[in-house]
Amino acid sequence: TYLELCDRQKNTNVRLSLPAVCIVWQTAMIILFGVFIRYNEESSPRWVEYRKAKNISSDIENDFYFRYPSFQDVHVMIFVGFGFLMTFLKRYSFGAVGFNFLIAAFGLQWALLMQGWFHSLDYSDGKIKIGIENLINADFCVAGCLIAYGAVLGKVSPVQLMVLTLFGITLFAVEEYIILDLIHAKDAGGSMVIHTFGGYYGLSISWMLYRPNLDQSSRLQGSVYHSDVFAMIGTLFLWMFWPSFNSAITDHGDGQHRAAINTYLALAATVLTTVAVSSLFQKHGKLDMVHIQNSTLAGGVAVGTAAEFMLMPYGSLIVGFCCGIVSTLGYIYLTPFMEKYMKIQDTCGIHNLHAMPGVIGGIVGAITAAAASESVYGHEGLINTFDFEGEFKDMVPTRQGGHQAAGLCVAICFGVGGGIIVGCILRLPIWGDAADDNCFDDEAYWEVPDDEETFPQVPQYNNHMRNKDV
Amino acid sequence: TYLELCDRQKNTNVRLSLPAVCIVWQTAMIILFGVFIRYNEESSPRWVEYRKAKNISSDIENDFYFRYPSFQDVHVMIFVGFGFLMTFLKRYSFGAVGFNFLIAAFGLQWALLMQGWFHSLDYSDGKIKIGIENLINADFCVAGCLIAYGAVLGKVSPVQLMVLTLFGITLFAVEEYIILDLIHAKDAGGSMVIHTFGGYYGLSISWMLYRPNLDQSSRLQGSVYHSDVFAMIGTLFLWMFWPSFNSAITDHGDGQHRAAINTYLALAATVLTTVAVSSLFQKHGKLDMVHIQNSTLAGGVAVGTAAEFMLMPYGSLIVGFCCGIVSTLGYIYLTPFMEKYMKIQDTCGIHNLHAMPGVIGGIVGAITAAAASESVYGHEGLINTFDFEGEFKDMVPTRQGGHQAAGLCVAICFGVGGGIIVGCILRLPIWGDAADDNCFDDEAYWEVPDDEETFPQVPQYNNHMRNKDV
Amino acid sequence: TYLELCDRQKNTNVRLSLPAVCIVWQTAMIILFGVFIRYNEESSPRWVEYRKAKNISSDIENDFYFRYPSFQDVHVMIFVGFGFLMTFLKRYSFGAVGFNFLIAAFGLQWALLMQGWFHSLDYSDGKIKIGIENLINADFCVAGCLIAYGAVLGKVSPVQLMVLTLFGITLFAVEEYIILDLIHAKDAGGSMVIHTFGGYYGLSISWMLYRPNLDQSSRLQGSVYHSDVFAMIGTLFLWMFWPSFNSAITDHGDGQHRAAINTYLALAATVLTTVAVSSLFQKHGKLDMVHIQNSTLAGGVAVGTAAEFMLMPYGSLIVGFCCGIVSTLGYIYLTPFMEKYMKIQDTCGIHNLHAMPGVIGGIVGAITAAAASESVYGHEGLINTFDFEGEFKDMVPTRQGGHQAAGLCVAICFGVGGGIIVGCILRLPIWGDAADDNCFDDEAYWEVPDDEETFPQVPQYNNHMRNKDV
Rounded to the nearest angstrom, the minimum Cα separation between C321 and chain A is 8
Contact A446 C286 (CB under 8 A): yes
pLDDT value at residue B9: 45
User: What are the DSSP calls for A171-234, one per residue?
Assistant: HHHHHHIIIIIIS----TT-IIIIIIHHHHHHHHHHHHT--TTGGGGGGGSS--HHHHHHHHHH
Contact A261, B10 (CB under 8 A): no
Contact C228, A92 (CB under 8 A): no
Q: For residue B468, report the phi and psi dihedrals to the nearest 5 degrees.
A: -65, -40
Tell me what the mean pLDDT of segment B372-396 comes to.
92
**Residues of chain C scoring pLDDT < 50:** 3, 5-10, 453-470
Rounded to the nearest angstrom, the minimum Cα separation between A44 and chain C is 6
Contact B225 C451 (CB under 8 A): yes
Rounded to the nearest angstrom, the minimum Cα separation between B42 and chain A is 6
Residue C247 and residue C258: Cα distance in Å, rounded? 8
Rounded to the nearest angstrom, the minimum Cα separation between C71 and chain A is 11
Contact C244 A72 (CB under 8 A): yes
Distance of CA A269 to the CA centre of its chain: 21
Rounded to the nearest angstrom, the minimum Cα separation between C221 and chain A is 11
* Residues 6+ positions from B445 with CB-CB distance below 8 Å: A285, A286, A287, B12, B14, B94, B95, B157, B158
Residue B430 and residue B14: Cα distance in Å, rounded? 10
Average pLDDT, chain C: 92
Tell me what the mean pLDDT of segment B38-59 comes to.
93
pLDDT value at residue A459: 38
Contact C449 B69 (CB under 8 A): no
State the greatest distance between any 2 C-alpha atoms of chain A, in Å, as a whole number. Answer: 91
Distance of CA C101 to the CA centre of its chain: 13
- pLDDT of A267-324, one tens digit each? 999 999 999 999 999 888 999 999 999 999 999 999 999 999 999 999 999 999 999 9
Q: Is the pLDDT of residue B456 over 50?
A: no
Q: Which residues of B touch A270 (CB under 8 A)?
A: 105
Q: Which residues of A touch B87 (CB under 8 A)?
A: 229
pLDDT value at residue C4: 52
Q: Residue A4's pLDDT band (boundaries 50, 70, 90)?
A: low
Tell me what the mean pLDDT of segment A442-454 comes to.
80
The H or E element that residue C39 is part of is strand C37-39
Range name among A56-60, B65-69, B261-265, C458-462 with the lowest pLDDT average: C458-462
Range name among A153-162, A330-339, B215-224 with the lowest pLDDT average: B215-224
C2-469 folds as Ammonium transporter fold (1.10.3430)
Residue A94 and residue C311: Cα distance in Å, rounded? 34
- pLDDT of B80-111, one tens digit each? 999 999 999 999 999 999 999 999 999 999 99
Domain positions in chain C are 2-469
Q: Which residues of A touch B448 (CB under 8 A)?
A: 225
Q: Residue A11's pLDDT band (boundaries 50, 70, 90)?
A: confident
The residue among B61, B64, B232 with the most chain C CBs within 10 A of its CB, best to mutate, is B232
- pLDDT of A171-182, one tens digit each? 999 999 999 999
Q: Which residues of A touch C70 (CB under 8 A)?
A: 68
Tell me what the mean pLDDT of segment B150-174 comes to.
96
User: What percentage of chain B exceeds 90 in pLDDT?
Assistant: 86
Contact B453 A377 (CB under 8 A): no
Q: Residue count of chain B, please give it.
A: 470
Facing residue for B105 by CB, picked from A70, A272, A282 = A272
Contact B381 C47 (CB under 8 A): yes
* Residues 6+ positions from A229 with CB-CB distance below 8 Å: B87, B93, B94, B97, B230
Contact C316, C303 (CB under 8 A): yes
Helix (H, G, I), strand (E, B) or coil at B121: strand
- pLDDT of A345-369, one tens digit each? 999 999 999 999 999 999 999 999 9
pLDDT value at residue C452: 54
pLDDT value at residue C330: 97
What residues does B283 pair with on adjacent strands? none
The residue among A36, A57, A72, A137 with the most chain C CBs within 10 A of its CB, best to mutate, is A72
User: What are the DSSP calls for A82-114, one per residue?
Assistant: HHHHGGGSTT-HHHHHHHHHHHHHHHHHHHHHH
Contact C260 A135 (CB under 8 A): yes
pLDDT value at residue B452: 54
CB pairs under 8 A between A and C: 253
CB pairs under 8 A between B and C: 252
Q: In CATH terms, is domain B2-445 a member of 3.60.70.12?
A: no
Contact C284 A9 (CB under 8 A): yes
Contact A453 C381 (CB under 8 A): no
Contact A98 C384 (CB under 8 A): no
Q: Which residues of C touch B443 (CB under 8 A)?
A: none
pLDDT value at residue A450: 81
Neighbours of A39 (CB within 10 A): 22
User: What percentage of chain A exceeds 90 in pLDDT?
Assistant: 87
Contact B236 C79 (CB under 8 A): yes
Residue of A nearest to B129 (CA): A313
Helix (H, G, I), strand (E, B) or coil at A7: helix
Residue A147 and residue C183: Cα distance in Å, rounded? 50
Contact C140, C153 (CB under 8 A): no
Q: Which residues of C touch A49 (CB under 8 A)?
A: 378, 380-381
Residue of B nearest to C87 (CA): B229
Range name among A64-68, A256-260, B191-195, B448-452 with the lowest pLDDT average: B448-452
Average pLDDT, chain A: 92
Contact C45 B312 (CB under 8 A): no
Residue C240 and residue C228: Cα distance in Å, rounded? 18
Residue C319: C-alpha distances to residues C178, C240, C271, C325 (Å):
26, 17, 12, 10
pLDDT value at residue C466: 35
Residue B189 and residue B304: Cα distance in Å, rounded? 4
Contact B261 C51 (CB under 8 A): no
Facing residue for C451 by CB, picked from A19, A109, A455 = A455
The residue among B8, B9, B15 with the most chain A CBs within 10 A of its CB, best to mutate, is B15
